[in-house]
Structure 1
């Protein structure tokens, strides 16, 4: 996401002809977009994105269970 933001900022600076970006080659300005596309392709191909989403869901599930146990007066995280 940072690469996409950087690409948008550089593109805007090139369009508005802000120095020093105005003198840069278009390849340099558009490179962050290519890097972002490569990152997303790699993340999807290796399962990184799915793994991160599953970790977030597991954390939310654990927090929800701990909150329910706490409201019942049980100590969270204690298993038998």
Structure 2
């Protein structure tokens, strides 16, 4: 996501000819888009995206369980000292 935002900002700076980016080649300005595409391809092929989504869902599930236990007056699954 960061690469995409950087790409949009650089594209606007180049198109509007603002600052030092105006002198850059279009290849340098458009490079973050290629980086974002490579990142998304890697994340999808290695399962990184699905793994992060599963971790997020598991965290939400555990938060709901803890909230329900607390509302019932039961102890949460915190380790004893």
Normalized against structure 1, the TM-score is what? 0.95
* Ranges in structure 2 where 5+ consecutive residues have no aligned partner: none
Structure 1 match to 2:18: 18
Number of paired residues?
A: 78
Q: Does 1:55 align with 2:51?
A: no
CA root-mean-square deviation: 0.8
Mapping 1:1-80, distance limit 5 Å: 1-77=1-77
After the TM superposition, which segments of 4 or more aligned residues of structure 1 sit over 4 Å from their partners?
none
Displacement of 1:62 in angstroms is 0.2
Displacement of 1:77 in angstroms is 1.2
* Ranges in structure 1 where 5+ consecutive residues have no aligned partner: none
